[in-house]
Amino acid sequence: MITAEQFRTIAFWADELSDDEFERARRGISEKAYPEGSYLWHRGDKVDAWTGVVEGLVKVSTVSKSGKAMTFTGVRTGAWFGEGSVLKDEARQYDVVALRDTRVALMGRATFLWLLDNSVGFNRFLVRQLNERLGQFMALVEYDRTLDAPARVARCLGWLFDPVLYPRTVGSQIEITQEEMGLLCGLSRQKTNEALQILQRKDLIRLEKSGIVAVDPARLMRFGE
């Protein structure tokens, strides 16, 4: 179980809960750490918890029957994911891999369903969350078929600054390596580097030793249209 202070830090949506709902949610959350490169879950695993990234970066991906690998999204510190699988009570439809040492918060399914049945604030948050994820996945289908490498990298990067999924993000900088970006976009490190250089020349980003600065995240999302 986590403390009230920890809960407020790792779950921005906790602000929408009543005192009773807040306490019920807090008691239903635990934390777990995963080393870089490890699987949090495999496709087909039973879903018994909703997940938030307390610290780190994970990749949500799958491999089709034809053997094609597809990355759905990257999830960084501050975001919660997997609510669809919890709601449907079905086996997980994707793999989740830690791209760096990562710590996650796990809310038990029983607590999640109790909030769903009893909390208006939690339901408002879930509607916004699911709507934003749906928009991402629709865009994913489009860019996987039509966009070149720079546009794919621009979209992947833009999603990591999504104001709905990351409302507490301060500034426009993210600590991420080019190798991690390549893994999220499904591109080689060389292709990713070339794409980032193009985006920098177009004044969309700045590459710094500590990571990547998005000069205009909204323009990144439109790049390549």
Q: Which of 96, 128, 160 is the last residue of a domain?
A: 128
What does the pLDDT average to over 110-131?
95
Residues 119 and 178 in one domain: no
The enclosing domain of 192 has a CATH number of 1.10.10.10
What does the pLDDT average to over 123-141?
84
More confident site: 129 or 186: 129
Give 210: exposed, middle or buried? Use CB within 10 Å, 0-12, 13-18, 19+.
exposed
The enclosing domain of 65 has a CATH number of 2.60.120.10
Residues 180 and 115 in one domain: no
pTM of the predicted model, to two decimals?
A: 0.82
Residues 103 and 154 in one domain: no
At residue 173, the pLDDT reads 83
Count of structural domains within the chain: 2
Percent of the chain with pLDDT over 70: 93
How far is the CA of 221 from the CAs of 5, 22, 125, 139, in angstroms? 34, 34, 23, 10
Q: Which of 128, 159, 193 is the last residue of a domain?
A: 128
More confident site: 64 or 166: 166
More confident site: 25 or 182: 25
Structural domain that includes position 205: 147-222
Residues 112 and 195 in one domain: no
pLDDT over 60 (residue 170): no
